[in-house]
Amino acid sequence: MSALIEIEHATVRFGGSSAWRRLLPGGAGGSAEPVIAVDDVSLSVSRGAALGIVGESGSGKSTLMRALMGLAPLAAGEIRYDGRALGVRRDVATRRAIQMVFQDPGTTLNPARDVGGILAELLGVHGMVARERVEARVRELLDLVHLPADVADRRPGQLSGGQKQRVAIARALALEPQVLIADEATSALDVIVQASVLDLLAELRQSTEVTLLCITHDLDLVRYLCDATVVMRAGRIVEEAPVKQLFEDPQTEYTRELLAAVPRLEVAP
């Protein structure tokens, strides 16, 4: 069986030639050092897998996922999805297929609209269901993420952090993605709420057969939710192993350190 996602020798660079620096005294000489955020990464993910991506802050996890989403262009290498090469320009169906949930749902939900409006608009714009089915689908989506129906009438600002994250997940699921990326999706939540969102992700994995990519600092999350793990450091994959093996027999000192470290909150960039 071929992999759903194949990343081959992907490299993402930032900076080095930003236009504004050419306006500074010294002209082109004032350029910044380029950052190689993702450095020759190869990775394949099979359909239905749950892959944990771990590594210290700044190791390139989010950038790799942004590249997969088409939000960060590759300087080298290739990303294939379902056998097809993906650039940053994608058709709507491909964009729908890969959805991402972020650490701070508050910044990605429109504060001026109620939750029902946010979901209904998305369903409408993408033509996910017939117009007369939109209301019922909004209710189904809220139900899928275990939110009460009356949340539809509230705005994001009137919800708790955990509820907002559930709305963000519902919004991603509205597009019936094949891949769901959770980028530190539970990091900003308190421990009990974290556990309930984790339960939700685990449940969705069963009920929707979505392929899950979990970026996290929290190795307990990986142990609970994922079947394989890659460890990133300085833009590279330094270790790749089934979860059980990673915990029982880490192959690098870096992974041993990660396993020993107390989970801490990642500060959003």
Check residue 14 for interaction with ligand ADP (CB under 6 A).
yes
Selected binder of ligand ADP within 37, 45, 74, 185 (CB under 6 A): 37
If you ran DSSP here, which 8-state letter would residue 187 be given?
A: T
Structure tokens at 26: 């010294």
Check residue 60 for interaction with ligand ADP (CB under 6 A).
yes
Check residue 52 for interaction with ligand ADP (CB under 6 A).
no
231 binds, among Mg ion, ligand ADP, none (CB under 5 to 8 A by kind): none
Is-contact 147 163, C-beta < 8 A?
yes
Site for Mg ion in 209-238 (CB under 5 A): none
Contacts of residue 187, defined as CB under 8 A and 6 or more positions apart, other chains included, come to: 103, 216, 217, 218, 265, 266
Is-contact 139 174, C-beta < 8 A?
no
Check residue 186 for interaction with ligand ADP (CB under 6 A).
no
Check residue 62 for interaction with Mg ion (CB under 5 A).
yes
37 binds, among Mg ion, ligand ADP, none (CB under 5 to 8 A by kind): ligand ADP
Closest distance to ligand ADP from the beta carbon of 234 (Å): 9
59 binds, among Mg ion, ligand ADP, none (CB under 5 to 8 A by kind): ligand ADP
Selected binder of ligand ADP within 3, 21, 35, 82 (CB under 6 A): 35
If you ran DSSP here, which 8-state letter would residue 182 be given?
A: E
Structure tokens at 28: 């082109």
Closest distance to Mg ion from the beta carbon of 149 (Å): 34
Please say which residue, 37 or 159, places its beta carbon nearer to ligand ADP.
37
Q: Which stretch binds ligand ADP (CB under 6 A): 52-60, 149-157, 241-249, 253-261?
A: 52-60
Q: Which stretch binds ligand ADP (CB under 6 A): 60-68, 98-106, 171-179, 250-258?
A: 60-68
Contacts of residue 23, defined as CB under 8 A and 6 or more positions apart, other chains included, come to: none
187 binds, among ligand ADP, Mg ion, none (CB under 5 to 8 A by kind): none
- Grouping H, G, I as helix, E, B as strand and the rest as coil, residue 173 is helix
Check residue 63 for interaction with ligand ADP (CB under 6 A).
yes
> Total number of residues binding ligand ADP (CB under 6 A)?
13
Check residue 229 for interaction with ligand ADP (CB under 6 A).
no
Phi and psi based region of residue 56 (left: phi greater than 0; alpha: psi -120 to 50; beta: remaining):
beta
Q: In whole angstroms, what is the distance from residue 60 CA to residue 139 CA?
A: 37
> Where does this chain bind Mg ion (CB under 5 A)?
62
Positions that interact with ligand ADP (CB under 6 A):
14-15, 35, 37, 55, 57-63, 269
